[in-house]
Amino acid sequence: MPPYSGPQKQLIAQFVNFTQAKDSVAAKFLKANRWSVEEAIDEFFQSGQGAGGSTSSIGKVFDSYRDDPEENPDGIGIEGAIKYLGDINVQLDEVACLGIAELLKSPSMGEFTREGFVNGWRTSGCDTIQKMIDHAQDIRSRIPTQPDLFRRVYRYAFPLCRLQGQRNLQFEIAAEQWRLFFTPDNGGVQWNTATTPWLDYWIEFLEGRGKRPVNKDLWEQVEVFMRKTQEDEEFSWWSADGAWPGALDDFVGWVQEKRGKNPEAMEVE
């Protein structure tokens, strides 16, 4: 289960207690739906019924940051977004900023919609600025240590950072985001190691290929590749017949040449 707020945890504890009685309504409900306790709790909160945040209170917070209430009553633009992020102690150049964007389903950088803002904070149980500050700090601490959350935020960055009307990510933007996500300075994870400067090599490799735009598949697989190299830097998991994007296949050979090894002689699964 994902982490829940204090009020939500109290509801969860009560629900779990109710399920302990064999003939209770809660127990019968779980049996009828063939749900585990965890599945029932997740369904309850994801539906919004068990949300710990007040919709009206969150709406008031949203309204206070709108740039143009008359022309755009259900949107927060760049100026309002910058002020809001500052007020919840989130810097624009940290991974947590993208974590907030993913949580609130921002349609583009520096923009929030009422629906995404209210739904995101409601399901997080946050209806005051202080609660939002606390939750932002929680996101900040969890992104580097929870691979599933990291991956969700990383993948959300692709559509968020694309230029309007383009399907792929410009190389310069992709490289900037990789430096953010794959270094620990601003909330990412460390890809470079003592033996191999993976991130530096990867960007150098792509620069040598002409700085081509990055498509969605390559963007997503780079994060998977990063995890694999963290587990084993010698590529014992890699196969020339695998389903990796061509750029990553070529990168493996490029790294092996950098190391003075013949990629054809690699021992692969």
Query: What would the pLDDT profile of 22-44 be if each residue is shown by its tens digit?
Result: 566 666 665 665 556 665 555 55
Q: Does 6 score more than 90 pLDDT?
A: no
Query: Which residue is listed with tokens 């209770």?
Result: 24
Residue type, 98: L
At residue 206, the pLDDT reads: 98
- pLDDT for 226 equals 98
Q: Which residue has the higher pLDDT, 239 or 27?
A: 239
Fold assignment, 53-143:
Recoverin; domain 1 (1.10.238)
pLDDT digits (tens, 9 = 90+) for 66-104: 999 999 999 999 999 999 999 999 999 999 999 999 999
Q: Using DSSP bridges, classify how beta strands 75-76 and 112-113 pair: parallel, antiparallel or unpaired.
A: antiparallel
- 53-143 with 150-265: one CATH topology? yes
Is it the case that residue 50 has pLDDT exceeding 60? no
How deeply is 110 buried, as exposed, middle or buried, from its count of CB atoms within 10 A (0-12, 13-18, 19+)? middle
- Residue 240 pLDDT: 81
Q: Kindly report which listed range (1-15, 49-63, 202-216) carries the lowest average pLDDT score.
A: 1-15
> CA 187, CA 141: separation in Å to the nearest integer?
8
Q: Which two tokens stand for residue 2?
A: 């994902």
Please, are residues 37 and 1 in contact by the beta-carbon 8 Å criterion? no
Q: State both tokens at 218.
A: 């390559």
CA angle 74, 149, 161 (to 5 degrees): 50
The structural domains of the chain, with segments of one domain joined by +, span 6-47, 53-143, 150-265
The per-residue DSSP string of 217-265 comes to HHHHHHHHHHHHHHH-TT-TT--TTS---HHHHHHHHHHHHHTT--GGG
Question: Domain 6-47: what homologous superfamily?
Answer: Ubiquitin-associated (UBA) domain (1.10.8.10)
Instruction: Answer for the pair 124, 5: CB distance below 8 angstroms, yes or no.
Output: yes
Return the higher-pLDDT residue of 71 and 1.
71
Looking at residue 41, what is its pLDDT?
56
- What pLDDT was estimated at residue 266? 42
Superfamily the domain 150-265 falls into: Cullin, PONY binding domain (1.10.238.200)
